[in-house]
Structure 1
């Protein structure tokens, strides 16, 4: 609608990729831009790594909406983190980082806010928005329903603007990105843009629990969900001449297993490894093993075997490492600190 655009021919508009849509993009003069902004992030979306040493960016764009619904599992307008009962009902996207560090720049733009059955624009002005980033279990595939062992790793102050941005350097792991409004129950569409310097494998988390299929009827459907977080270990057996070790943990349940990263040169490692298992056989225990990484052959340092039933304590526990075998196996040097939560309601955790 600006006078300046009338001076741009149709061919030039096509070359610029100009489209007139309600997608959050806008035009302003450079003088006005200088008056209103102090910083700008420039994200390269074209991979120039073949002929440039400069960092390139992977770009993902998702379209979503905060939608109010009386059924908690269907509600998608949960509000800010302080609304503990509804916060996790917001839309969520999962991102997997496969390298040790990656830079994440995310932003989202509130589109035209709609009210009522006729979808008429609301006159109340910009919403208070912010993205929130959670580090979750390394193998999570379904929506979160309760914050237990997960960590809130990044957020920004709520701002009554059309667009908000967040940039962080993150460690290797799996993350859930939650776009939020400050007030719950406000129906609004939004656009989410994510820039990372490694592939993010971004996808929306829609399912609350494993799907019941004909195959699951034949092979068994999960009856229990268990979350495990291995915080740390201490007093492990020394493995080299300098008195150190290169330990990692291996967490096993039924035919599933997850391995942590190796912690170099320490007998008191901090793992902070999280996993979640959907278990068909509730009598099958969870085994947490500690190993020493070696070039030729990894060495077994001990294990802890847990029933992981819903009645067990949910607070952090310190467990003695033992050898292979049952509860009567010989004690080995070292302890591990773990938090284990189980529920027979697959949508609780």
Structure 2
């Protein structure tokens, strides 16, 4: 049950600021903020609330324009009360369009999904130099300065945790998250798929970073850096903390970006082909006895052969081959798929 103040504000609750205005009150301009409780019903009962006396001193036309007496959770309060009652204000943008310019700008955007996994990609922040380099890495190429004659490019980086509301129901809180940016070393500029190693981060300082690491659903920063290539390293504050995330990058001018990772390569050893003369004569005779004229064996027949052979090796401490193990071997070697479904 959330606690409610005597003026009917719910502690720890998130409210929305829906409007601001100014009214003449007793000969002075008074700044007002309109606030909405998304859950409705419970409303502020202090100064400038729906039934407060302050409205009696406001021009009737202004009062009619601003006042709403419905119980919808929306109310007015003075700006001074707003500063006293609330501790944090977050500005939410539906797009990354420049707030200080009335002319609409279309920003370029990139979105990546990633994860922090213990033992592989959960490296923590720079306080953990031995593992920081393990974090996911993303490259952004800032190629076009904001305006002619300028060298810097504006962009916005937003890091958001995924599924944390669901995990909160499982008793897990938000992780403390943030990010850092590093200029790509000259030898790697223009190259793709380069994952920077521990030695780089031990000897290079970041070019920019999130304002802080904090346990919020999303952390974002608007940045300006000289044109060039940069690595974005999102991380949890502590190492070995797991989670999924979404990384979004918005830039005023077109910018290329990509996820970086080490190349993964599997080199299979050359398969050795046995000559007929290399196969033990006793084994061949046993195989013919069990396989029959078609020279094919079932799961049960293979189990019999293998267990009979290993029974001769007293130094092997084993309970023998199970039927399931033999079925798996046949499935791997049966190129004709004849025995794949044999029980």
TM-score (norm 2): 0.44
Structure number having the greater strand percentage: 1
Max radius of gyration: which structure?
A: 2
Structure number having the greater helix percentage: 2
TM-score (norm 1): 0.43
